[in-house]
Structures are given as C-alpha cells and as structure tokens.
Chains A and B, each alone.
Chain A
Amino acid sequence: MYPSIMRESQFQEHNRFFLNMGPQHPSTHGVLLVVLEMDGEYVLDPQPILGFIHRMHEKMGESRPCQGFMPNTARMDYVCALPYNHGYVSLIEKKAGIEVPKRAEYIRVITSELNRVASHLLWLGAYLLDLGAFTPILYGFDDREHILDILEDITGSRLTYCYYRFGGVTQDIDDKFVDATRVFIKRLRKRFDMYEKLVTKNIIFIKRTENIGIISRDMAIRYGITGPNLRGSGIAYDIRKNEPYSVYPEFDFKVPVGQRGDCLDRYMVRVCEMEQSLRIIEQALDMLPEGPVRSKVPKNIKLAPGDCNFAVEAARGELSYYLVGDGTSVPYRLKIRVPSYSNLSCLPELGEGILLPDLVSIMGSLDLVIPEIDR
C-alpha cells in the first residue's frame, strides 16, 4: 500500500535506482547498511544488511567456563549493558540453583533501571539528532552523565559494566550512592518539563513523527517486535510484568502503551517509561533490605545437562538467554535472543513507499543498537 501522494506513473521501472545508506551514515547509528531501492526521494524497498561487526559472542560463550562470558554480555548492547548482565547471571543462577540475597536483587534492579533511564535519554537525544535538532542530544548527555557517574562509583566502569556476579553483585552500595541517586531523580523530574517544552510540544517534531511508520498490533506480533516498540503499538507486554523476574513484582509501576503505533507513540512510551523507572528506583531505595550482597558460590559452576531459558526486559525489548548444559562448566550451547534484531526486521515492510526523511525518522524511533544485532 502506497500513500496517496504517489501515483502509478511514478513507479516506472526505469526511474528506480539503488542508494547505499551506510555502513557509514550519520543516522544508521553504527555499521548498519541499508540498501534502498529508490524512486526519486521515495524509498521503495529498504533492505538492511547485517554482519559488519559480528564478533561471535555466542561462540565465545560456548568455548569458556560460564564466568568468563560475563564481560561479553556488556559488549552486545553497550548503551544498556546492565540488563544484559542481569539476564546472564539470572540464567546461570537458575540453571545451577544458586540463591541470591535479597539485597543483591534490589541493587540489581536499581542499577538496571538507572541504566535503562540512561539508555532512553541517549535514545531521545539521538532520535532528535536524526530529526535534525542538535541541542537535545547534549541535554540528554548531560543528564545521562549523572547516571554514569553514579554507576561508575559502584561498578567501576561507565559503559561496559561487569557488575553482577553469580549469586550477587561485586560490591555493596553505600549511602553516597543512595543520596546521589535520590538527588538525580529529583533533578531529572525537573528536566522532564524542559524536554516536554523543547521537544514533545514542538510542532515540527510532531509533524515529523505523528502517523509516520505505523506498526499495527498485528504486524508487531508477526515480526516478534518487543519492548517500547511493541508497547507503542498498544500491546502492554513487558517482561517485568508478564513474566516477573528478580524482585520486580514487589514494586508498583505501570506499563505505558501507545495507541496508533507511530513514531510519536514510541517516543511517548519511552518518555513515560523513564518516569516509571524512576518510580521503581525510588521504591527500591525505600525498601532496600539489609544483609549480604553475595552468596557463597562454588568456584567451578557445573551446568547440569538439559536446557534453560531466561528472559529479561532490556531497554529495547525482550532479551532472552537460552543455554544447554552438558555437565561441565562450559555451556554446550548458548543462544541469545536480542530485541533489536526482531525490531529491525519490520523495516522493509515499514519503509515501503515512504520518503527518505521518514525512513530516517522510523529507523531512529526503533532504537536500534547495531552491535547487539550482530553480536
């Protein structure tokens, strides 16, 4: 189906040509190549081509004891690395039957949610950059910087975290962390008003996103889209609610959903999600139990024969680890289901017969992280 502005005569064969968008292009955000079949400024058929930064993460996971894979988990989605840590440690804990102290789970939730907010802030800036506004990305970076500082204090790194361990976390949080997080939450709430004035209510922004790139409910399910992209289409599916893990059931938070499934809805869902994440962090800080943060874990974890799956809600959608053990400490098979891969797969259908600027807008709104797709 093509928009009414396109006429049949515009589809004549001889007018078509190919345009390589990427692997180096400002708005593919990484080394993604999209081969566009174009007719003037109309995109007829965008085909994403992957594999430019494939690093064999899954194979690496199958060739070393399971502890050794921890740093790799942070290098798939480097924007939101802690949920990736979380998924992997939870998988091994489930497989090997390791108990996790309550305090450690709380710390995991707090840090994961902080990381999610950081990821959404970065996305907000980068999306506006795709739409041609330069300033919001620096505001987003400014706010994100506070989160990175807070996380750096306890995790030791700023981007590729390796903070969680089987049976807990490496280091307990202190009062300084708690105070800094509370100050940050207060600050970010104030900044949301500014973002709303600068971005959400901007008429050019609305014109560039409203009714652009509509993913219907049916289509979202067909492609296996998850995360904010799915919720933007009106399906309230969130792993934290639907298949609760860790201590998420103890917190009161909403799952924001959109209605139309266009770029604006996906934007709104992410903005609302940041507020919900802040609520989770606040509750977790209030309810934070005392106790140890790491349980006794054998040095060599034996993975019993049989398979095991664990899914978490990463910033971009459902991340699930699937592992088959064979009795040794090296996984026999490790499969990682990443959200961006499925989210990208709808691009050829979404991008049919639209204008090039709209394609940039849609790709931005899907919030793709290419190293995660290629793994």
Chain B
Amino acid sequence: MEILSTLPPELIRMVFAVIIIISFIFLNAIMMGYLERKIAGHVQRRPGPMEVGSHGILQLVVDGVKLVGKELLIPVNVDRTLFRLAPILSFTPVILPLLVIPFSEKLQARDLNLGLVFIVSMTSINVMAILVAGWGSNNKYSMFGAMRAVAQSIAYEIPILLSMLAVVLMTNTFSLKEIVGAQQNIWFIVLQPLAFIIYIISGVAETNRAPFDLPEAESELTAGFHTEYSGMGFSLFFLGEYTNMFTVASVATVLFLGGWHGPPLPYGEYLGFVWFFLKVYFLLFFMIMIRWTYPRVRFDQLLNFAWKYLVPFSLANILITAVVVKL
C-alpha cells in the first residue's frame, strides 16, 4: 500500500481500468460467441451447442481452451515477422476505444475531450492488421481478403465519420460523456434517424460482418485473410472481431440511443450501465440476426453502395443538420 500511495492516482486508475476492460473483452467474446451460435442455431431450426454445461453454456470456454492449447503453425514461405505481428495488431487497438466509452455517468476510464476522434482512429488500425495478415500469409486467397478489406474500410469509414459528425454538430463536442448528457430529454435517433441507419449499415461493414464479410468470404476465398492462421493467432482475430462489434454497438448507443439513460435506477450514476448494456446487446443481436439471414453482396456492389448512396446521403444529412443548427 506504501507504493500505491506514492504513484499518481490517475495511473492506478488507468491500470485498473485496463485490467477490467481486458477481462471484459474475453467475457464479451465468450458471451458473443455463445449468443451467436445459439441464435444461429435457433434461426436454423436446430438447438445449437447443447453438450458442455447446461444448454452448452460452457462450450465457448472449452473452445477457448482448445484454441490456446493448439500448436502455433507457421507455414514455410510466410513473412514470419508480419505473420506473428498481425493477430497482435488486430487485438491490441480494440482494447483502447473502450477506455473512453461512458458505460454510465461515473463508469468511464477517461473522458477525453476528443473521445470520438480517438475511437475512430483506434478502430481504423484494425484494417492494418488485416492487410498485414493477408500480405504476410503469402497466400493468394489471403491477399484477396486483405485487398478487399482495405477498399471496404476506406469506403465505409467516410459515411461512419459523416454520420458521427451530424451528432457532433448538434452537441458541439467530441466528448462522449457530454454527447450522452445532451440526450437527457430526447435520444438522437429521433432527431437523426438517417444518420443512425447509415451508421449501423456502415458499422456492420466496418466490422466485416455478413452480408459485408467480403474479406473472409468463405465460399469465394476459403477463409480470406485468416486462411493460414490457427490456434491462438486465429482466436485473436476472433476476439478482435467481437470486440470491434461491441465497440461499434457502444458508439451507436452513445451517439444515438441515449447511452446510460433509461428509467431511473437506484445509484443511477453507477447502475446506468444496465441500460447501456441492454441497448448494446440489442444492437448486437440485430447484427447477428442479419448475418444469418442475408446472402453476401458482391464486392463492387458493396463499394458502389457506399460511394453512390451512403456518402451522398450522409453529406446531405450533415448539410441539413448544419443549416438547422445554425437557425
């Protein structure tokens, strides 16, 4: 305890926050993996995992142990440095956005005044990891996946930014806490429905989820950028994907669904996270449902959709928002 008191309190706070967030990421991945398999099962008229634990609730834990226990296979002709770097590069940046997300009024690791910009910049690193994985794997299918990921992420980052900007124009701040605070009376989904729709579509594309899962389109590219990965390398991509989904859904909740706001709870400034998580997991449920319903779009159709529809519409939305705010 002597040492703790000599350290700056802010540092201790951050260390604790990072530990909690990392453990939460693993918990989230397990929950999401279980939810996805169960929901997919029920959509497809089968029970899903049933064997390990009651209703297969421990299935993902067992799967995790299996993946950790697997040998790390590195194919002969790969770029060994890049091949090892890519999963780490995919996993590390997804932790950081969670530091600035306000789960409730008081549950936030750090309130940056440029929080939104920070989140956008961190989530963009993910595409770098896919590019590195695809290039380092020395496999044509992986390379296809990587190239698609880059084009897709450039195309969809713009509508995401523009739809976020519409909210920022209304609140005059990049701080996530203040954006949620501004939704005390009315959620921004009511005032900005178009921006919300654009954000959700682009968010699904940003996380490489079906129907926009082109970088890992298994019927065309076997497994896309992670064709050559196995064991823990593969599961880090997996963790990255689920955490990215969580981040996208959290930002949607913060920007459009009123964050921690909801019917009053005792100790609301802490327990507000209950509402926050309900909203986030509702969005994630929605994302899982569309994955198991729709076929995959073609690559050029995907890019056309972004450049011809989403970008013009979000620009128009910003223009209207700016005019209305100015008035």
Residues of A with Cβ closer than 8 Å to B?
5, 17, 19, 25-27, 41, 128-135, 138-139, 142, 198, 202, 204-205, 207-208, 355-358, 360
Residue of B nearest to A25 (CB): B222
User: Can you list 24 A-B contacts (CB < 8 A)?
Assistant: A5-B300, A17-B140, A26-B222, A41-B144, A129-B219, A131-B219, A132-B210, A132-B211, A132-B217, A132-B296, A135-B44, A135-B292, A139-B45, A142-B45, A202-B295, A204-B211, A207-B297, A207-B298, A207-B301, A208-B295, A208-B297, A208-B298, A356-B144, A358-B298
Contact B295 A133 (CB under 8 A): yes
| New A-B pairs, 16, CB < 8 Å, besides A133-B293, A204-B297 | A19-B140, A27-B219, A27-B220, A132-B211, A132-B213, A132-B219, A133-B294, A133-B296, A134-B40, A134-B210, A202-B295, A205-B295, A208-B296, A208-B297, A355-B299, A358-B298
Proximity string of chain B (176-215) to chain A, C-beta cutoff 8 Å, 1 when within and 0 when not = 0000000000000000000000000000000000110100
| B308 CB–A CB distance under 8 Å | no
Contact, CB under 8 Å: A360 / B144: no
Q: Closest chain A residue to B301 by CB distance?
A: A207
Q: Are A26 and B298 in contact (CB under 8 A)?
A: no
- Interface residue ranges of B32-82 to A (CB < 8 Å): 40, 43-46
Query: Which residues of B lie under 8 Å from residue A133 when comparing CB positions?
Result: 293-296
Cβ contact within 8 Å between A355 and B300:
yes
- Which of A19, A130, A138, A357 touches B299 (beta carbons < 8 Å)? A357
Given A207-B301, A357-B217, A132-B295 contact (CB < 8 Å): yes
Per-position 1/0 for B124-147, Cβ under 8 A of A? 000000000000000011001000
Report the bound CA distance from A131 to B219 in whole Å.
Answer: 7
Q: Does B111 contact A (CB under 8 A)?
A: no
Residues from 270 to 326 in B contacting A, C-beta threshold 8 Å: 292-301
List A contacts of B220 (CB < 8 A).
27, 356-357, 360
Tell me which residues across on chain B come within 8 A of A132, comparing CB atoms. Answer: 210-211, 213, 217, 219, 294-296
Q: Is the interface of A mostly helix, strand, loop or mixed?
A: helix
* Nearest A residue (CB) for B141: A19
Q: Chain B residues with Cβ under 8 A from A19's Cβ?
A: 140-141
Known contacts A135-B293, A207-B301, A26 near B144 by CB under 8 Å? no
| Bound Cα distance from A27 to B210, whole angstroms | 17
B148 to chain A, nearest CB (A): 8
Contacts of B218 in A (CB 8 A): 26
**With A19-B140, A135-B43, A204-B297 as contacts: A360 and B292 at CB distance below 8 Å:** no
CB distance from B87 to the nearest CB of A (A): 23
B44 in contact with A26 (CB, 8 Å): no
Q: How far is the CA of A360 from the CA of B294 in the complex (A)?
A: 17
Which residue of chain B has the shortest Cβ distance to A207 in the bound complex? Answer: B301
User: Quick one: given A41-B299, A135-B43, A135-B44, are A130 and B292 in contact (CB under 8 Å)?
Assistant: no
B contact patch SS: loop
CA distance A347 to B305 in the complex (A): 29
What chain A residues lie within 8 Å of B222 (beta carbons)? 25-26
Count contacts on B: residues with CB < 8 A to the other chain.
Answer: 26
Q: Quick one: closest B residue to A130, CB to CB?
A: B219
The 5 nearest A-B residue pairs measured at CB? A132-B296, A133-B295, A138-B44, A131-B295, A27-B219
Q: How far is the CB of B32 from chain A (nearest CB, A)?
A: 17
Contact A202 B219 (CB under 8 A): no
List the B residue with the shortest CB-CB distance to A17.
Answer: B140
Cα distance, A5 to B298, chains bound together (Å): 15
Interface pair A360/B219, CB less than 8 Å apart: yes
CA of A363 to CA of B29, assembled, Å: 36
Q: Which residues of A contact B43 (CB under 8 A)?
A: 135
Rounded to whole Å, the gap between the CB of B170 and the closest CB of chain A is 32
A207 shortest CB reach to chain B, Å: 6
Please measure, in the bound complex, the distance between the C-alpha atom of A94 and the C-alpha atom of B144, giving whole angstroms.
54
| A17: B residues at CB distance < 8 A | 140
Beta-carbon contacts under 8 Å, B136-186 to A: 140-141, 144
Closest B residue to A132 using CB positions: B296
Q: What is the CA–CA distance of A205 and B211 in the complex, to the nearest angstrom?
A: 11
How far, in Å, is B283 (CB) from chain A's closest CB? Answer: 21
Q: How far is the CA of A110 from the CA of B276 in the complex (A)?
A: 58
Complex CA gap A204/B294 in Å reads: 7
Closest to A212 in B: B298
> Which residues of the other chain, A, contact B45 by a CB distance below 8 angstroms?
138-139, 142
Contact of A138 among B46, B210, B211, B293 (CB under 8 A): B46
> Which residues of the partner chain A approach B210 to less than 8 Å between Cβ atoms?
132, 134
> Please, how many angstroms separate the alpha-carbon atoms of A135 and B213 in the complex?
16
Complex Cα distance, B140 from A19, in Å, reads 7
Which of chain B's residues has its CB closest to A126's CB?
B219
**Alpha-carbon separation in the docked complex, A95 to B274 (Å):** 78
A293 to B254, CA, bound (A): 72
Set of chain A residues within 8 Å of B40, measured between Cβ atoms: 134
- CB nearest to B44 among chain A residues: A138
List, in ascending order, chain A residues with CB within 8 A of B140's CB: 17, 19
From B44, B294, B298, contact of A202 by CB (8 A): B294
Assuming the A-B contacts A139-B44, A208-B298, are A134 and B292 also in contact, with contact meaning beta carbons closer than 8 angstroms in the complex? yes
Roughly how many angstroms separate A299 CA and B301 CA in the complex, as a whole number? Answer: 63
Residues of A within 8 A of B211 (CB): 132, 204
Task: Give the chain B neighbours of A358 by CB distance below 8 A.
Answer: 298
Residues of chain A within 8 A of B296, CB atoms compared: 131-133, 204, 208, 357
CB distance from B36 to the nearest CB of A (A): 11
- CB contacts (< 8 Å) of A131 on chain B: these are 219, 295-296
